[in-house]
Chain A
Amino acid sequence: MTDTAWIDAALTSARPQAVGALLRYFRNLDTAEEAYQNACLRALKSWPQNGPPRDPAAWLIMVGRNVAIDDIRRSKKQEALPDDEAISDLDDAEEQLAERLDGSHYRDDILRLLFICCHPDLPATQQIALALRIVSGLTVKQIARAFLVSEAAMEQRITRAKARVADADVPFETPGAVERSERLTSVAAMIYLIFNEGYSASGDTAEIRSPLCEEAIRLARLLLRLFQSEPEIMGLTALLLIQHARAPARFDADGAVILLDDQDRSLWNKSLIAEGLALIDKAMRHRRSGPYQVQAAIAALHARAEKPEDTDWTQIDLLYGALEIMQPSPVVTLNRAVAVSKVRGPQAGLDMIEPLAQRLSNYFHFFGVRGAFLMQLGRNDEARTAFDRAIALANTSAEAAHIRMHLDRLQRDSQPRGKKAGK
């Protein structure tokens, strides 16, 4: 690897920690970001000559902070007399900061930085864009490309989100246990959103958008390193790893979706699956189940099946049953019905989804699944009606873009007609 490539990787990996610490210090996102950028510029000059520092993040925090304080001093000098008091304060602050560099502050710094991006006033797309810009340090151009919008539109979106966050009152004190746990939940949800943004890509855009999946995994691993004993963060990371492991098999050469049953399982990334399974094992020991762990366990059962017919549908049915209790939703029930139909036949599946008809009347997958059950029961006319409805919804609904792995299987059953419709 060349020097510059190494420096890039070091800057990327140090970014959340450095920006998080600078934010704690300056309590202003723009100042923190600018300080970090200035530190990076100096790193690009200094590191190739002097060699990389042993702790790049600490280096960037120190340098970024000093440059920003120099700037503040200079602008103050232009405005008024030098502020001796401020200068003498700085020495103390420096010592204090150095002391904190090794402390557990980092953990809360990074969590706070991520949490700021999850402000409840921000729509999901803005949360994600902001996190990718501020925490991951992707350029506006890179983010715009991944979101398939123009650079100007993305610039505007991020500026707006930043303005809104700037007004938000995020406490800078070290959070208490309850607050920390709430922040962790919001941040986990946002990382999942980032992943889905990449995962829900269609075949022709999958390559452009897959960096979103990789970034989400990087953030999930980061979060897990900070909170090593949180089973739900293990579950989240495992879920993302196992889903992403299938990426090389999910689309054919023309960019058409290949459904789970038809995927070449030898293309699945075994190392990512192994890591995911290891994390599930670890999470289970805590005996504190949660939605991410259950979803990861379902993904793991698919990943463990060498052939589609080896899939343990009984266990998947039970897991969806657990998920229904934790997160009741007609979509979860719909997924469960597929597992039920594999174990007890299509009539049992159909009985399970009938009560959902009203709530899912605009949901593509509902009609796809319903059509498949009806077809298996030989009720072909009714099946055709359901498929027609599914196709209409799939072609018009943006929701179809958010299909997840465990729904691929449902799609397969409606695929013969889906293909004719030019999907």
Chain B
Amino acid sequence: MLYAILCYHDEDTVGSWTKEQDAAVMQKLTVVQDKLTKQGRLGPVARLLPTTAATTLRKEDPPLVLDGPFAETKEQLLGFYVVDCKNLDEALDVARDLGKANPGGAYEIRPVGHFTPGGVKP
């Protein structure tokens, strides 16, 4: 089963990391990702730009365009992984590994219903 691991963290805190701290976290995350890649279990991974770059379309009639993220929360959605796991326990293990590399905040683990891998190249 595919699980989406949605990464929530306080954006202000993440934005206050020095370049070196940020690079160190990314490096540690790469180690976890490499393991999953070798096992053929890692799908798309995205780190999102700050929520200041976000725009929200409210699907009213007519649709309403708003500046900023959908929800004003203490922690913001900053990125996500798609990982192939047998069950929730395995997905939680992956999240724990990621959490060791990047403490603070929370991961929301959501089973994926429909998945289209797509063909977009960065």
Q: How far is the CA of A14 from the CA of B15 in the complex (A)?
A: 11
**B residues 1-56 with Cβ under 8 Å of A?**
10-17, 19, 21, 24-25, 49-53, 55
Chain B residues lying within 8 Å of A54, measured Cβ to Cβ, are 74
Residue from the list A13, A222, A225 in contact with B13, Cβ < 8 A: A13
* Min CB–CB distance B68 → chain A (angstroms): 4
Interface pair A12/B16, CB less than 8 Å apart? yes
Residue A402 lies at the interface, judged by CB distance under 8 Å to chain B? no
Interface pair A229/B103, CB less than 8 Å apart? no
Residue A352 lies at the interface, judged by CB distance under 8 Å to chain B? no
* Min CB–CB distance B97 → chain A (angstroms): 15
Residue from the list B12, B19, B24, B66 in contact with A222, Cβ < 8 A: B12
Interface size class of A (residues with CB under 8 A): 20 to 34
Residue A224 lies at the interface, judged by CB distance under 8 Å to chain B? yes
Q: How far is the CA of A14 from the CA of B66 in the complex (A)?
A: 26
Q: How far is the CA of A234 from the CA of B67 in the complex (A)?
A: 10
Residue A335 lies at the interface, judged by CB distance under 8 Å to chain B? no
Chain A residues lying within 8 Å of B16, measured Cβ to Cβ, are 9-10, 12-13, 218
Q: How far is the CA of A23 from the CA of B52 in the complex (A)?
A: 26
Interface pair A221/B103, CB less than 8 Å apart? no
Interface pair A9/B52, CB less than 8 Å apart? no
Segment at the interface with B among A196-204, A278-286, A338-346: A278-286
Residue of A nearest to B11 (CB): A225
Q: How far is the CA of A5 from the CA of B66 in the complex (A)?
A: 35
Asked, given contacts A1-B25, A13-B15, A54-B74, whether A225 binds B49 with beta carbons under 8 Å apart, the answer is no
Q: How far is the CA of A282 from the CA of B53 in the complex (A)?
A: 8
Report how many A-B pairs have Cβ atoms within 8 Å. Answer: 63
Asked, given contacts A1-B24, A9-B21, A271-B49, whether A282 binds B12 with beta carbons under 8 Å apart, the answer is no
Interface pair A221/B104, CB less than 8 Å apart? no
Size of the B side of the interface (Cβ < 8 Å), in residues, is 26
Chain A residues lying within 8 Å of B24, measured Cβ to Cβ, are 1
Chain B residues lying within 8 Å of A52, measured Cβ to Cβ, are 104
Chain B residues lying within 8 Å of A6, measured Cβ to Cβ, are 13, 103-104
Residue A237 lies at the interface, judged by CB distance under 8 Å to chain B? yes
Interface pair B15/A221, CB less than 8 Å apart? yes
Residue from the list A5, A9, A278, A285 in contact with B53, Cβ < 8 A: A278
Chain A residues lying within 8 Å of B19, measured Cβ to Cβ, are 214
Residue of A nearest to B17 (CB): A9
**B residues 89-111 with Cβ under 8 Å of A?**
102-104
Asked, given contacts A5-B21, A54-B74, A285-B65, whether A13 binds B49 with beta carbons under 8 Å apart, the answer is no
Interface pair B103/A1, CB less than 8 Å apart? yes
Q: How far is the CA of A12 from the CA of B17 in the complex (A)?
A: 9
Q: How far is the CA of A229 from the CA of B66 in the complex (A)?
A: 8
Chain A residues lying within 8 Å of B66, measured Cβ to Cβ, are 229
Interface string of A197-221 (1 = CB under 8 A from B): 0000000000000000010001001
Give A contacts to B, CB under 8 Å: 1, 5-6, 9-10, 12-14, 52, 54-56, 214, 218, 221-222, 224-225, 228-229, 234, 237, 271, 274-275, 278-279, 282, 285
The 23 sampled A-B contact pairs (Cβ below 8 Å) are: A1-B21, A5-B21, A6-B13, A10-B10, A10-B13, A13-B15, A52-B104, A56-B13, A214-B19, A218-B15, A218-B16, A221-B50, A224-B52, A225-B51, A225-B68, A228-B52, A229-B68, A234-B52, A271-B49, A274-B49, A275-B50, A282-B53, A282-B55
In addition to A13-B13, A282-B67, 8 A-B residue pairs with Cβ atoms within 8 Å of each other are: A1-B25, A5-B21, A9-B13, A13-B12, A214-B19, A221-B15, A221-B50, A225-B11
